[in-house]
Amino acid sequence: MELKTLCETQGLPGREEKVRAMVREACEQALGKDAVSLDGLGSVIAVRRGSDPTRPRVLLAAHMDEVGLMIVSATEEGLLRFRPLGGVDARVLVSKRVRVGYDQADKPSLPGVIGAMAIHQQTAEDRKAVLPVEQLYIDIGARDKAEAERVAPAGTPVTFDAPCVPFGDGLVLAKALDDRVGVYNLLRLLDAPYAGDLVFAFTCQEEGGCRGAGTAARRAQPEIALILECTTANDLGDMPEALQVCRVGQGVCVSFMDNTSIGNAELYRAMLALGRDRGIPCQVKTFVAGGNDAGEIQRAGVGCRTLALSVPCRNIHSAAGVCSLSDIRAQEDLVRAWLAGR
């Protein structure tokens, strides 16, 4: 499946149905209908039985959802009030285009814009203060409250309106790279050579609290789990090296620790050594921040050894994420090589 298709598909936390349908079909085609099930949060779990029971049961996981917004009410003027789903900084919203609702065959989603007071009219105070989300609105051109509520009732999902396009030198610019990149690679790895049981989990609701990973892992019951993710790259703007976290284009990021889990020490060292031996570009995530599904997966049930392998992404959680195609490839190559060597 094309990365472009995956990134342009809409899929907010709790509303992953469109991504789920695509992923489910791809898994069923590759592994057969019986191999694929859904857990109680709607995560897709695909099991590929191995021939060698002495090999550890391995889980590969990536999350289907992306950050976005949700409509909560309409004003008398027909403007839509919203709340963020997942960690969306209010500062990335002003003056952006969004899609209100999901595209359906018979009914496309509605375009909308997030406006704010013109700079001419702002006081010095206005300029200093960050506009809180509660004071932002989506304008879909509705004339009044009744019209707005009819076309975009409370609960309507809103995604960034941004196509997935090539960018700069070997990079890609898109919304939802976090974590459609992982989903993309997971689908490519469905045929990866490995003699033991291999489970693929496409999880729900990672954004806004890593809700879906634990439930999926309790179904998958792995001994080792690799989490295919995106992580913040803070590598531009004359940032001190110690604060850069990781650099786009320097390879897949191996994480010894973040705020939700400590990567298994042996796996961490083995993965870096493997990258070195095979010439697969790897880098160490050099800042302890953020978190991902690894935390929930590590401690689901009796627990398992985990490691997060992340593709560096600039402007993560915005309409304009930037990743390197070579880093995306390195994520797949590293997992493939590791599985082949187990």
Rule CB under 8 A: say whether 12 interacts with other proteins: yes
Name the active-site residue from 8, 206, 207, 296.
206
Binding mask 259-278 for other proteins (x = CB under 8 A): --xxxxx--x----------
Rule CB under 8 A: say whether 112 interacts with other proteins: no
Residues 6+ apart with CB under 8 A from 55: 194, 195, 196, 197, 342
Binding mask 271-310 for other proteins (x = CB under 8 A): -------------x-xxx---------xx-xxxxx-----
Q: Tell the smallest beta-carbon distance from residue 17 to other proteins (Å).
A: 6
Distance separating alpha carbons of residues 120 and 157, to the nearest angstrom? 32
Rule CB under 8 A: say whether 40 interacts with other proteins: yes
Binding other proteins (rule: CB under 8 A), the pick from 38, 113, 116, 171 is 38
Instruction: Return the SS3 of 116.
Output: coil
Binding other proteins (rule: CB under 8 A), the pick from 211, 317, 329, 336 is 211
Taking the chain, what is the end-to-end CA distance rounded to the nearest angstrom?
27
Distance separating alpha carbons of residues 294 and 313, to the nearest angstrom? 18
Distance separating alpha carbons of residues 229 and 186, to the nearest angstrom? 10
Binding other proteins (rule: CB under 8 A), the pick from 208, 235, 278, 337 is 208
Cβ atoms of residues 22 and 187 within 8 Å: no
Closest alpha carbon to 182 in 207, 201, 163? 201
Rule CB under 8 A: say whether 55 interacts with other proteins: no
Rule CB under 8 A: say whether 20 interacts with other proteins: yes
Distance separating alpha carbons of residues 91 and 6, to the nearest angstrom? 26
Binding other proteins (rule: CB under 8 A), the pick from 151, 218, 270, 278 is 218
Q: Which of residues 219-248 bind other proteins (CB under 8 A)?
A: 219, 223, 241-242
Whether 206 is catalytic: yes
Q: Which of residues 160-199 bind other proteins (CB under 8 A)?
A: none
Rule CB under 8 A: say whether 89 interacts with other proteins: no
Residues 6+ apart with CB under 8 A from 217: 59, 61, 201, 225, 296, 297, 300, 301, 304
Residue spans of alpha helices (H) in 201-324? 212-220, 265-278, 294-298
| Interacting residue ranges for other proteins, rule: CB under 8 A | 12-15, 17, 20-21, 38-43, 70, 72-73, 81, 83-86, 134, 154-155, 205, 208-209, 211-212, 214-216, 218-219, 223, 241-242, 256-257, 261-265, 268, 284, 286-288, 298-299, 301-305
